[in-house]
A and B are shown apart, each in its own frame.
Chain A
Amino acid sequence: MIWVETLINGALLGGLYGLLGIGLALVFGVMRVVNIAHGEFMVLSAFCAVLLSNLFPQVSPLLMLIPVIALSFAVGWLYQAAIVNRVVTSPDPLSPLLLTFGVSVILRNVMVEIFGADVRSLQVGELSRASLEIAGLNIGIMPLLTLVLAALLFMALQLVLRHTEFGRIVRATADRRDIVRLSGVKPDRVYNYVMGLSLALGAIGGVLLAVRSSFTPFSGAERLLIAFEVVVLGGLGSFWGALLGGIALGMAQLIGLKIDPNAGLLYAHLLFFIMLLIRPSGLVSSRV
């Protein structure tokens, strides 16, 4: 019974991990750039949420998501416009990688200097401890809400990309950045919106993860690695695959922690590495 509970909790955590990965997958899918600074931006959004909830203690920290998402969108827009767009068309595929890595180092150390290296977390009070009892299984409400939110966001993103004009423009830009110009689309501007959207999704994941577990300015690397593993496990470019990959990683992590309480992310990393050996194409190898 305890194992079933662990598996279910792992799946719920996986919804959150899927959210971490989806922003990274979106940027990669549209502009073929792996944004190494994604994890640091997530931690930054968590710090923003903590600051805001310290300023307005009477407001529920979960409502802080709204300003933090808006802020993250703006930051992503500016980040893309000011920095990433300058190398996105570089013939050398290493340039965006090195550049975003440089940005991640800057962000991490700025956060260390401003916020200190202490462990922080976002307190949501009763909600974090509330749980449901279903058939003898104890399931936390917060993780359940997170998974539902993740599934809704995935569905919304899919609908937007499939059926709206914005979605069609984004997909067209992803396919042929040079040809869309003929229809009056400015690829760089599309990229700005996509990066904004990516960081907004990352902010949701970052804030919710900060509710679940504590963080420091150094947590960005950990979050990036999870996000990346989710994307690769799920199969490149597959949104539902990312959710599945997240669930697999969440389960691996919690089962690992059950066997070995101070394992941290070791078992999630191991699952990723083994899957890389067996199925380099990912769990789901389809494209959206």
Chain B
Amino acid sequence: MDALLALVIGVLTAAGVFLALRPRTFPVVLGLTFLSYAVNLFLFVMGRLAVGVPPIVSETASAYTDPLPQALVLTAIVISFGMTAFVIVLALKARAELGNDHVDGLEHETDRHA
């Protein structure tokens, strides 16, 4: 289970980094989304993996899982959701203002001198 989760986080991060380095805004936004998925998962498992135990005090529970990372990840999800929405709108605005979806606003290298 640990190895699987580590692998998932690693693959998500690698995909996110690769996509964030692409020259078009759409893959970049996707890359940022993948990175935020990876980090949310990472934060979540930082409280250690525990299956079937409650995070809050109960009379019947014999063990607990750490509730703090769950609170942290909730905050991080909300923030990354808002940021993703913002960056999508910004990318659309850049597409409209610059006439193309290249991150530098250049369709071809020769546009630099145009």
Q: Do A and B bind each other?
A: no
**Which residues from chain B sit less than 8 Å from chain A, CB to CB?**
none
**Which residues from chain A sit less than 8 Å from chain B, CB to CB?**
none
